[in-house]
Structure 1
C-alpha cells in the first residue's frame, strides 16, 4: 500500500459561510497534488449534475383532455404550456414513491402550484409556480404522478401500457443541482508553489442544500472507487476489521440505529426525512448550526433531537474516532445500496 503521508492533502473541504445560502455555496480545498484538482473537480461536477436523487412529475392527466396537443375552453394556455409549467413544480417527499397527487379547483383566475393537494408526506417547494389562467369560473382537475430518480429520464420511459387515454407522460429532471463550476489555481506549501487549489461553486433549485449535495456526491464517488481497492477479491471493505474493542462496537451499533426507531414527534421525523437523514450516525455528526438550516426545522425540533442523542451518550456535532467513522460510513454504504 502506498504511503499516503507523502501526498499533500487538505484537512477538510472549506465552505464560504458569508456567501452560503439554501441554494448556493462556494467551497475550496487546498493543498492538492498537481493534477488532482482537475481530477477531483471534474469527477465531482459530473456526479453532482447527473447522479443525485430528486422527485419529479412523471405523468399528467387533465380531465377532458385526450392528448397534449389539445386546447381547453376558457383557459388561456394550451395543454403544452400547462404541462411545461407543471414540470417546473418542485417537490419533496418522505413517503413511498411513485404516488399520485391531485389539483382540483372551481374558480376563475390564476391557478398555481399552491392549489395542488398534498398528502402529509409531500411538500410543494415553490407554491407560487404559475400553472394556468382560467378566463371564467370553471372546474379544472388534474391528476399528477410523482416519482423519484436520478439525473434525467425521457418521457418515453414514463409511458405505461396501463395508462388510460389522456395520461401524458413527461420527461423528468430529477437532479436538484442546476449548475456546478470549478476553478484550479496554484497554491503554496512551504517553498513549493506547484500545488493545486480547488474552488467550486454549486447552485441548486432548493430541493437540497449545496453542502448536502457535496456530501452525497462524495459518497457516490467513494462507493464507486472502492472497487479498485479490492482487486482479485481482496476484502478490505469489511467494517468489522476496523473495530477492535467492545466500546467501539457498542457505539457503532448506536450510530447504525434508524432514526425512525427513536420515537420522535411527527414534525421532527419529517424534518429528518426532508434532510435525508436516515441513521443516528448521520445525525450526530452534524452541528446544531447546520441542522437549523433545514426547511421547517425549528428550536423545538432541535431540542427534541438533542435530548434523544444525549440519552445515547452523544451530542450534535459529535466527533467520531477515525476507525469508527470509516466503519460507520462503510456500513452505511452497504445499507443504502441494499448489500
Structure 2
C-alpha cells in the first residue's frame, strides 16, 4: 500500500532588506503548489502586526484640515502615518507621542514610545515644518491586529478629538513561490517549493514562515475528526538530487 510521504525540513537563507528564502524539498508529486499556495495566502492575510489606529493632532478637528506652518495637509500626514511600522511587545493598546517645533523634516524617529513599543524604521517621512514658529503635536494609539482594517470598523472606539485611520497590520509585504521538480531516490517527479518572503522589518521572514505553518496546522487539526495528523511515513531521502525540469 502506497502512502503520501512528507517533505524534508524547510531550509532558510537570509537575504537583503528583510528578505528571506525558504526551501521545502522532497514534496510528494503535486503537493508543491498545494503547500506553496496555502502558506503564501496565510503569510499575506493572517500574520499579526502592529499599526496606528487613531491619532490626535493638536488644533486639528478633522482629517480635512490644514495646519499652519506644515507643508502637508492632514490627509497626507495620515497616509504617511500608515507607513510607520512598529514592533510591539504587549497585547494591550499603547500610546505614542510626537512633539516638534521649528523648521524641520519630521520623521518616525521623532515619535516617542515606551519600552514595549519600538519604531522599526526611524526614517519614514511624516511631515515638513516650513517655519521657525511651526509646531506639530500628535498622540497615537497603536494596536496589534491582522490584515487590513478600514477606519469605519473602528469608529465605535473613537475618542473625542481623535481621527480614526485605516490600520495596515500585516508585517509581510510580498510573497512569491516557485515549484521545481527534483529527484528523490529513483523518482524525478518530486517537488521542491521555494518561497521568497519580504517583511517590513518588524518580524523576520523565518518568523513569519513559522507562524504561517503554525496557523495552518492549528486550523487543520481543528477540523480533523481524529484531532491529529493521520498516518504518514517518510520515504528514503538520503539520495536527493535536483534535476532539470522537463521541457527545457
* TM bracket, shorter-chain basis: 0.7 to 0.9
Name the structure where helix makes up a greater proportion of residues: 1
Which of 89, 95, 114 in structure 1 is aligned with 2:109?
Answer: 114
Shift of residue 160 of structure 1?
2.7
SS in 2 for 1:114: helix
Which of 183, 189, 192 in structure 2 is aligned with 1:197?
Answer: 192
> Which has the higher relative contact order, 1 or 2, with Cα contacts under 8 A spaced 6 or more apart?
2
Shift of residue 21 of structure 1?
4.2
Shift of residue 104 of structure 1?
1.0
Distance 2:75 2:164 in 1: 12
Distance 2:223 2:227 in 1: 11
Which of 11, 14, 28 in structure 1 is aligned with 2:11?
Answer: 14
Shift of residue 114 of structure 1?
1.3
Cα root mean square deviation, aligned: 1.9
4+ long deviations beyond 3 Å: 234-237
TM-score (norm: length of structure 2) = 0.86
In the TM superposition, what whole-angstrom CA distance separates every residue of 1:302-321 from its partner, at most 9, and x where no partner exists? xxxxxxxxxxxxxxxxxxxx
Indicate if the aligned counterparts of 1:62 and 1:142 stay in contact, CA closer than 8 A.
yes
Show structure 2 runs of 5+ residues with no match: 230-248
Which of 122, 126, 130 in structure 2 is aligned with 1:127?
Answer: 122
Shift of residue 72 of structure 1?
1.1
How many residue pairs match? The answer is 228
Indicate if the aligned counterparts of 2:177 and 2:193 stay in contact, CA closer than 8 A.
yes
Instruction: Indicate yes or no: 2:144 matched with 1:148.
Output: yes
Show structure 1 runs of 5+ residues with no match: 238-339
Write out aligned runs for 1:233-312 (5 A).
234=226
Query: Per the alignment, do residues 160 and 235 of structure 1 end up closer, same or farther by CA in structure 2, a change over 3 Å counting?
Result: closer
Shift of residue 135 of structure 1?
1.1
Distance 2:157 2:206 in 1: 40
Query: Per the alignment, do residues 194 and 147 of structure 1 end up closer, same or farther by CA in structure 2, a change over 3 Å counting?
Result: same
Which of 131, 155, 159 in structure 2 is aligned with 1:163?
Answer: 159
Distance 1:9 1:235 in 2: 19
In the TM superposition, what whole-angstrom CA distance separates every residue of 1:177-216 from its partner, at most 9, and x where no partner exists? 0011011111112332111211111011101011111110
TM-score (norm: length of structure 1) = 0.64
In the TM superposition, what whole-angstrom CA distance separates every residue of 1:235-280 from its partner, at most 9, and x where no partner exists? 659xxxxxxxxxxxxxxxxxxxxxxxxxxxxxxxxxxxxxxxxxxx
